[in-house]
Homo-oligomer: A and B are copies of this chain.
């Protein structure tokens, strides 16, 4: 594994050192993963963002950067903020249904009470 260059070093056409910051998170068998974050953030910024957190959190950094880059390429205007907006709308829609359901339940309870306590 260490003798093969990671996806980042392969794309940047450089030697891949054994302590390469990209190696564990951008394996050579998934070149698209690095290609996406490279296109949106640039390799140097991705490296910085990986380096500024502890080693145990770098996998999550790489995953979330890839997710954001993927959505920015898919939706160049809103990126993954478009997903946040639509999830907020979904929650708003469900929340606006709740008072109606509650009113329906209250009415049914009220009918029950009238019946059993005339």
Contacts and interface: CB of A to CB of B under 8 A. Distances in A.
A51 to B, nearest CB: 10
Interface string A70-98: 00100011111111100110110010000
A1 to B, nearest CB: 25
Interface stretch (A9-17, A22-30, A56-64): A56-64
Contacts of A45: 40-42
| Copies held by the complex | 2
Contacts of A79: 64-65, 68
A20 interface: no
A25 to B, nearest CB: 13
Interface residues of A, number: 40
Contact of A104 (B77, B94, B105): B105
A115 interface: yes
B84 A72 contact: no
Interface of A: 40-42, 44-45, 49, 52-53, 57, 60-61, 63-65, 67-68, 72, 76-84, 87-88, 90-91, 94, 101, 104-105, 108-109, 111-112, 115-116
